[in-house]
Amino acid sequence: MARVTVSSDAQITELAVNDHACLTFGEPDELIDLTAAFVRDGLNGGLKVIWLSDSGPTQAVTELARRGIAVEAALAVGQMAALACENYLLSGQSFAAGQAMIWLIEQMAASKNEGYSGLRVALDMSWALRPIAGVEQLPDFEENVGKVLTDPTVSVLCQYDRERFDPVTLASVTTLHTKSVAASTYCANAVLRICRQYAPPGIRLAGEIDLHAEEALSLALAEALRLDGDITVSMAGLSFIDVTCMRLIVNLAKSIPAPRKVILQCQPKVANRFATFGVTEVSSISLEIVDDQ
């Protein structure tokens, strides 16, 4: 079996105040998970947080709240803003690096005037995949963002879908950032993906998992165990799990000291497997049924 390696990118929880970080993601769940951690840590640190999402503010807020982020309260007091790219980074269906920079600098000044000790901005760059006029100015924008982030209270997280952006664009823009951020991935192939989950903390499994992934799953679980608090094993995207892997997960849950818990989120048929295995009798396991994603 191939040796399990974990990607060497920075963790989303390791960003410094003046980082201009490049987040790459492979699936929508990964983007929202990483953004949720970025937002959570910003709000907890008393910073103002702005997310310009591609999916729309309403869905963004719903997804963040679903991951336990107190986003409604932050929105109500103005500590957070969830916006669509169209009205802020873009002017209609066109992009101008200069205009976008003016918007960003205005936000930096506004957050100071509002009394916040700093600002976190997350920018979903998926708009650049659409036929937007001025998209060729994207590298200029990224370069200029780096220049204005000499202010040690502001960090910007640019978000790129690595499955949809072409490698040349990705390579050119990533060099314009101070850090590269991605979810720690323990296994990624055509059948299975195992990666760290940041909000709520734990791991995420998608696809089909069997004994071939025993080593990768063991490593992912061992690292999750070192986190604080409850551990969530998100299996909404998992359609098959065998006894070998169920045993690893159940044994982790049995070894976790009280009052910590392991929360298993699964599709109904996977939940039934765990129930057959007796997990509903284990006090440190909470079995939650979620819809297939």
Partner 1 sequence: MTSDAQGFPRRDRRIPAAPPDALPPADRHTEPILDHPVDGDSLYQLRASVAAHAVLAGLSPRKADDLVIAAHELAANVVLHGSGHGRLRIWLCDSTLHCRVTDDGSEPRKDSAETVRSGEEPGSPDPSSWPIEPGHGLWLIRQLADDLSVRRAQGGGSDVTVSFSFTSPDGTDGTRPAVS
Q: State the residues that interact with partner 1 by CB under 8 A.
A: 191, 208, 210-212, 240, 242-244, 247, 250-251, 254-255, 268-269, 271-273, 275-282, 287, 289
Report the residue number, 164 or 247, with the smaller CB distance to partner 1. 247
Tell me the closest approach of the beta carbon of residue 283 to partner 1, in angstroms: 9
**CB distance 258 to 284 below 8 Å:** yes
Report the residue number, 11 or 244, with the smaller CB distance to partner 1. 244
Distance CA 272, CA 246 (A): 12
**CB distance 253 to 237 below 8 Å:** no
Q: Say how many residues make up the chain.
A: 293
Distance CA 179, CA 12 (A): 10
**CB distance 232 to 265 below 8 Å:** yes
Distance CA 21, CA 76 (A): 27
Report the residue number, 73 or 243, with the smaller CB distance to partner 1. 243
Report the residue number, 52 or 220, with the smaller CB distance to partner 1. 220
Distance CA 201, CA 157 (A): 20
Report the residue number, 81 or 248, with the smaller CB distance to partner 1. 248
Tell me the closest approach of the beta carbon of residue 233 to partner 1, in angstroms: 16
Task: For residue 55, give the nearest of 161, 157, 176 by alpha carbon.
Answer: 161
Report the residue number, 103 or 240, with the smaller CB distance to partner 1. 240
Report the residue number, 32 or 253, with the smaller CB distance to partner 1. 253
Distance CA 234, CA 178 (A): 30
**CB distance 95 to 132 below 8 Å:** yes
